[in-house]
């Protein structure tokens, strides 16, 4: 499969650690992907609510470019970009009139042949390879101590039929990838609730309220970190909650690709874990400590067992 990469605007700016960790993990797993040459903004989240056709056309331009480059599929790590590209692909597939009009609007051929994947869909088929790679790797013991709340938000599960999730209300695919990394997914209630992404700038107070409820539930469930796959979700749960960090009411928020990267033993800085507002370094230290004491416990138990066995003999 020839795979195109669509970073989108956020991954070139405030979400650069998503781009960094995506590329590092793809390298480690042997996933070849080529950035779409001269890609443009997908139009999220303003285009579709201003002019529906514009929303479809801005996303479709990138699909047409990937198609011309001979790609079978494109991965868009940003959940909003993924949603706009996948939505355009579906609408064009279902609407002949729209399909016929697009080449004229884009002024280039467009046959809608390129599949659209989000980062969870990209990584899920690699779950077994990740499991094997981390089993003896240096990252395993620390990530193995990590309890994670997998946060899908909206666009990885909705709209139904576009997002392609395994379940709209109780999805499990992020948990499957997290488990392959050795992490322990927690059971919690806010996995598919909205963080308020599209109003982050224009109605910040609502977004802070929504983010808080998500963080509070993750903490109640005992999560060490919230795992996300969307730059808007990340900003709202990390950057927008920074005022709360002072009273200890936050929890580190990391990208799924950063979790996989850590498990594969990739350097935390190379994964951009130093770029978050809620400091991730205390967690990394804490996980290493837990791993050390877990190892010591295991060694002590083994020794005790050997002693008992010796006594019996």
Partner 1 sequence: MESSTLHSNEDDIASAVVRHQEAHGAPHVPASSVRMSLIDEVYARSGVNVRTCYQCGKCSAGCPMMGEMAVRPHVVMHLVQRNQRAEALSCDGIWLCLSCETCSARCPKSADPARVIDTLREMATETNPGLAPRAIGAFNKTFLDQIRSKGRMSEVGLAMQFNLRSGRLLQDATSMPALVSRGKLKINPPSMRDIDDVRRIFANVEAATRDARSKGGYR
Residues found near partner 1 in the complex (CB under 8 A): 9-10, 12-16, 38-41, 43, 45-54, 57-58, 61, 97-98, 101, 104-107, 154, 157-160, 168, 192-194, 196-199, 201-204, 206, 210, 239, 242, 274-277
Residue 5's φ and ψ, nearest 5 degrees, are: -115, 125
Closest CB 151 distance from partner 1, rounded Å = 13
CB 233 within 8 A of CB 197: yes
Closest CB 293 distance from partner 1, rounded Å = 32
Residue 157's φ and ψ, nearest 5 degrees, are: -125, -20
What tokens appear for 157 in the block? Answer: 């599960």
CB 19 within 8 A of CB 7: yes
Alpha carbons within 13 A on the beta-carbon side of 100: 3
CA angle 143, 168, 216 (to 5 degrees): 50
Q: Which is nearer to partner 1, 12 or 308 (CB)?
A: 12
Q: Which is nearer to partner 1, 176 or 277 (CB)?
A: 277
Residue 269's φ and ψ, nearest 5 degrees, are: -70, -40
Structure-token match 């927690």, residue found: 186
CA angle 162, 168, 174 (to 5 degrees): 90
Q: Which is nearer to partner 1, 97 or 246 (CB)?
A: 97
Closest CB 4 distance from partner 1, rounded Å = 16
Closest CB 69 distance from partner 1, rounded Å = 15
Q: At what angle do helices 16-29 and 256-263 cross, to 10 degrees?
A: 40
CA angle 27, 276, 198 (to 5 degrees): 95
Closest CB 130 distance from partner 1, rounded Å = 27
Closest CB 6 distance from partner 1, rounded Å = 12
Q: Which is nearer to partner 1, 62 or 150 (CB)?
A: 62
What tokens appear for 140 in the block? Answer: 């395993």
Q: Which is nearer to partner 1, 9 or 127 (CB)?
A: 9
Q: Which is nearer to partner 1, 70 or 159 (CB)?
A: 159
């Amino acid at each position: 499969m020839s795979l195109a990469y669509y970073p989108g605007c956020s991954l070139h700016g405030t979400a650069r650690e998503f781009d960094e960790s995506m590329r590092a993990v793809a390298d480690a797993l042997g996933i070849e992907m080529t950035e779409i040459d001269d890609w443009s903004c997908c139009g999220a989240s303003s285009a579709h609510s201003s002019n529906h056709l514009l929303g479809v056309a801005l996303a479709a331009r990138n699909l047409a470019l990937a198609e011309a480059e001979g790609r079978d599929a494109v991965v868009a790590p940003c959940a909003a970009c993924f949603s706009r590209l996948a939505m355009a692909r579906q609408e064009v597939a279902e609407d002949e009139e729209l399909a016929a009009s697009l080449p004229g609007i884009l002024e280039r051929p467009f046959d809608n042949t390129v599949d659209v994947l989000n980062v969870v869909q990209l990584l899920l088929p690699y779950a077994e390879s990740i499991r094997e790679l981390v089993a003896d790797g240096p990252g395993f013991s620390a990530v193995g101590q990590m309890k994670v709340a997998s946060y899908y938000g909206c666009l990885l599960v909705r709209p139904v039929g576009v997002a392609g999730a395994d379940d709209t209300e109780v999805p499990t695919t992020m948990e499957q990838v997290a488990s392959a990394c050795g992490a322990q997914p927690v059971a919690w209630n806010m996995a598919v609730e909205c963080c308020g992404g599209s109003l982050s700038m224009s109605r910040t107070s609502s977004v802070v309220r929504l983010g808080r409820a998500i963080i509070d539930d993750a903490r109640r469930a005992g999560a060490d970190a919230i795992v996300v796959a969307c730059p808007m979700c990340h900003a709202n749960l990390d950057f927008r909650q920074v005022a709360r960090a002072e009273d200890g009411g936050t929890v580190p928020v990391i990208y799924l690709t950063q979790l996989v990267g850590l498990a594969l033993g990739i350097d935390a800085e190379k994964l951009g874990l130093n770029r978050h507002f809620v400091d991730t370094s205390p967690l990394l230290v804490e996980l290493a400590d837990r791993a050390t004491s877990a190892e010591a416990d295991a060694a002590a138990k083994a020794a005790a067992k050997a002693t008992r066995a010796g006594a019996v003999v």
